[in-house]
Amino acid sequence: MRLPSRLIGGVLVATLLTQITACGSIFYPDRRGQIDGKIDPAIAVLDAVGLLFYILPGVIAFAVDFATGAIYFEPGHTAQVDPAKLKQAIGPDGQVDNLKLQAILETELGRNLPLDDPRLIQHKGSTQQLAMFGLQPAA
């Protein structure tokens, strides 16, 4: 009978300690030190889960994340790929090969983007739109 109550107590203490230390500080320690920016909704939701455990852990989680700045997105964090490398994904007929494009993006950015997802909405452009951005059609 003692073992189950100790196990439940240990799990409860571990859960509360992770909430007290704040999710943003745990998941993104490199974001600490920021003073403002756009709030990361995923971290805000995870901190809000702490509100389910008697309000105090959630309030502490929000306070720690706001005080350290770990709740904010990184400023100016962008990803760019050289257009010359993207030309490899364009076939001779001018159509984009999603599998090649996905492989290029994964090697360059280190992220797997689901370009074969049936919910993906593809927009067709025109030469006028390219000219508006100062680009030359090259396909």
State the pLDDT at residue 96: 77
101-123 average pLDDT score: 75
State the pLDDT at residue 100: 85
Confidence of residue 48 (pLDDT cuts 50, 70, 90): confident
Distance CA 49, CA 71 (A): 14
Please determine, for residue 20, whether its predicted confidence score (pLDDT) is greater than 80: no
Which has the closest alpha carbon to 71: 106, 22, 21? 22
Distance CA 4, CA 8 (A): 6
State the pLDDT at residue 5: 83
Kindly report the pTM of this predicted structure. Answer: 0.43
Lowest mean pLDDT among 33-47, 51-65, 116-130: 116-130
Measured CA to CA in angstroms, residue 39 lies from 15, 24, 27, 44, 134 at distances of: 24, 11, 14, 7, 34
Q: What is the pLDDT of residues 51-109, one digit of tens each?
A: 777 677 778 888 888 888 888 887 766 567 777 887 888 888 777 788 888 888 888 87
Element (H, E) at 69: none
Residue 105's identity, in one-letter code, is L
**The residue to which tokens 């403002």 are assigned:** 36
Q: What is the mean pLDDT of the chain?
A: 76
The answer to whether 125 and 90 are in contact (CB under 8 A) is: no
Please determine, for residue 136, whether its predicted confidence score (pLDDT) is greater than 70: no
